[in-house]
Structures are given as C-alpha cells and as structure tokens.
Amino acid sequence: MKVIVPVKRVIDYNVKARVKPDQSGVDLANVKMSMNPFDEIAVEEAIRMKETGTVTEIIAVSIGPQQAQETIRTALAMGADRGILVKTDETVEPLAVAKILKAIVEQEKPELVMLGKQAIDDDCNQTGQMLAALLDWPQGTFASEVKFTDGKLQVTREIDGGLQTIEINMPAVVTTDLRLNEPRYASLPNIMKAKKKPIDMKSPEDYEVDITPRLNVLKVTEPAKREAGVKVESAAELVKKLREEAGVI
C-alpha cells in the first residue's frame, strides 16, 4: 500500500517562543525549525509498516517555504521514499492544507494518509479531520496504536478518560498521538542517501487551490505570567477557596 505522510516545518520544540513586539505573531528570525514532532511519529509509523511489509511506498509532503524541503529531507533520511514540496511563502491555514492534500491524494491514490494530530506551532488539530471530510474517507484520530488486518485498520484512539479502539475501512486518514511510537533518529549514511531521493517541486496553483487565509489574526500575546500561590491552613480552607475564589467546584 502507498502512504502519504504530510510533514510540517515548525518552530523546534526546544525553542522558547517569543512574541514579536508588534503582537503580529511569533518571532521566527534566527529560530531553529524542525519537523512537527507529531508528524515525526507519523513518519515513523509509516516506516514501521513498510518494514513489516504492509506499506510499499511512503511519500512525504510538505506545504510551506523553500526551507520546508529540509523537513522533507528529514523524513527521507528516516526512511520515506520520495517527497513533494508545495512551495508557498504565504500563511497556509488547515483548510488550505487539507485542500492541497486532497488534490495530491487524487493524483497519487494512496490508501492511507497518516499525519500528526496537530502541529505544535498553531495547535489547530484540524487538518486530518478536514482532509477526511473533503475526501469523504474514514478517519482514525489521536492514534496510539494502528494495526492493519484484512484490508482494514484497527486504530486505538486516545480519548478523554481512556482508549477507544475502532475499525475503519481503507482508504483512510489517521492522525497520530504522542504514544504511538518513539521516532528513530536519522543516521549519517541515511542522511546522505536521502540527498539522492527525489522531491517534486509544486505550487498551490498546480493544484488549483486558493490558499488565501480565511482567518484574521487580531493579536498574539504571551501567556499570562504565573503568579505566586498561597499556603492554606486546612483542607476546609482549600475547598472554600476552590468554591468561592476559583469557582471550580
């Protein structure tokens, strides 16, 4: 089976994000960027499925600036077979990404699209669901375990209060959660091999998708600083405070 794994170039998870002084967004100048960690998990899962013989080809897709090619190369160095870069310097919202991915799916005809449940930069958690809707495919979101048997996928989902296992028909969209696997590091030889793997260069126009943002960002601010706590004398006082001051019980 052929798998498409969309990978997003995001601010590295180790970087402490700073808001631009004009509150228009996060300052990305001179900031280390890397693959969205949830997408790394998706790449890893696809590679494992290839190693067990379920998957025959893995295509890593990224939508973003020229540098997103490096993110695709990371996926190729981990073990993906080829890449597609849809190049744009504009802001692409989840809906636009889903529309482009839909067009790619129609061309490539994979049986599975596997992607991170969300990206750690905007935390939208929308692309996979929107793509499934646009394609009218089944979706298995927040996967912590994926099994392929008899042409169907068993997806264990991390939900509030526990795990839910569902069976979905193929083709399907699966979004990956943190506990699905621990992604491998690329190795030096594989980084060098990845340089020779092909990456198709495309643009949103190639897929006739209008990526104009539908949302207006009013302002971006840093989270409020955490204030010092107070010590309570007794459990009764704690309950009182939780009820009267915090209003949570």
Q: Which two tokens stand for residue 17?
A: 């994000």
Under rule CB under 8 A, residue 219 binds another protein: no
Give the separation between CA 139 and CA 130, rounded to whole angstroms: 10
**30 part of the interface to another protein, by CB under 8 A:** yes
Q: Is 189 helix (H, G, I), strand (E, B) or coil?
A: helix
Identify the three-state secondary structure at position 90. coil
Residue 222 within binding range of another protein, rule CB under 8 A: no
The DSSP 8-state label assigned to residue 243 in this structure reads I
Please identify, using beta-carbon distances, which residue of 2 and 87 lies nearer to another protein. 87
**Cβ proximity to another protein, 110 vs 116, nearer residue:** 116
The string of DSSP letters for 32-77 reads: -EEE-HHHHHHHHHHHHHHHTTS-SEEEEEEEESTTHHHHHHHHHH
* Residue range at the interface with another protein (CB under 8 A); choices 14-22, 43-51, 87-95, 206-214: 14-22
E strand map for 88-161: 112-116, 139-149, 152-159
Binding mask 63-102 for another protein (x = CB under 8 A): -------x--xx--x-------------------------
Q: Closest distance between another protein and the C-beta of residue 210, in Å?
A: 30
What is the total count of residues that contact another protein (CB under 8 A)? Answer: 20
Question: How far is Cα 78 from Cα 185, in angstroms, rounded to an integer?
Answer: 7
Of 45, 37, 40, 203, the residue nearest 121 (C-alpha): 37
The contact pattern for another protein, residues 171-210, with x = CB under 8 A and - = no contact, is --------------xxxxx-xx-xx---------------
Which one, 185 or 245, has the nearer CB to another protein?
185
Nearer to another protein, 30 or 52 (CB): 30
In the numeric block, which tokens belong to residue 36?
A: 């969205």
Q: Which residues bind another protein (CB under 8 A)?
A: 14-16, 29-30, 32, 34, 70, 73-74, 77, 185-189, 191-192, 194-195
